[in-house]
């Protein structure tokens, strides 16, 4: 092949596949059966594999982005619903019959609920800032 393989190491996989695709026809496979003449196989036909690889990777990127975004949107909403539910609020609802220990435990639960809701909201805001990430500049 013309270019040294080491020069391609810094490039993306698509560039390497494209280089092979464009140069493989220059060295067709040969075979010498025992006691017979050399057979040269039909040379490789270029198939524009670099473009196909890049299209495939673009699709992989978009799918990964969509899955990550859907995952975060779904589970942050579920966390918010769970921790802001009446069921959770009832866990620390005051009762005149509560002992001091029970009052302390309920106060701790209430503080925990507020911290978790604040954390979910902070996570939501931070994720909203980055959820529309772009492909890296050196993608191709």
Is 109 part of any domain? yes
Q: Specify whether 43 is located in the same domain as 72.
A: no
Q: What is the pTM of this model?
A: 0.68
Pick the closest to residue 131 from 119, 123, 120, 139 (CA basis).
123
DSSP 24: G
Q: Determine the structural domain holding residue 112 and report its residue range.
A: 68-140
**Are 86 and 113 in contact, with CB atoms under 8 Å apart?**
no
Q: What is the CA radius of gyration of the chain?
A: 30
Q: Specify whether 73 is located in the same domain as 136.
A: yes
Is 36 part of any domain? yes
DSSP helix/strand/coil, 40: strand
Position 135 scores a pLDDT of 82
Spatial CB neighbours of 32, under 8 Å, sequence gap ≥ 6: 38, 39
Please write the tens of the pLDDT for every residue from 94-117. 889 999 999 999 999 999 999 999
Q: Specify whether 35 is located in the same domain as 74.
A: no
Q: Specify whether 73 is located in the same domain as 139.
A: yes
Q: What is the mean pLDDT of residues 61-88?
A: 95
Q: Specify whether 43 is located in the same domain as 97.
A: no
Is 76 part of any domain? yes
């Amino acid at each position: 092949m013309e270019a040294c393989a080491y020069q391609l190491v810094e490039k993306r996989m698509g560039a390497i596949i494209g280089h092979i695709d464009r140069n493989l026809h220059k060295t067709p496979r040969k075979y010498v059966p025992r006691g017979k003449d050399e057979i040269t196989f039909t040379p490789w036909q270029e198939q524009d594999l670099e473009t196909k690889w890049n299209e495939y990777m673009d699709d992989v990127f978009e799918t990964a982005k969509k899955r990550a975004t859907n995952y975060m949107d779904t589970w942050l909403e579920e966390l918010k619903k769970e921790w802001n539910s009446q069921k959770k609020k009832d866990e620390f609802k005051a009762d005149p019959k509560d002992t001091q220990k029970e009052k302390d435990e309920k106060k701790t639960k209430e503080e925990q609920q507020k911290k978790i809701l604040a954390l979910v909201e902070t996570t939501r805001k931070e994720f909203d800032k980055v959820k529309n990430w772009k492909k890296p500049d050196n993608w191709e």
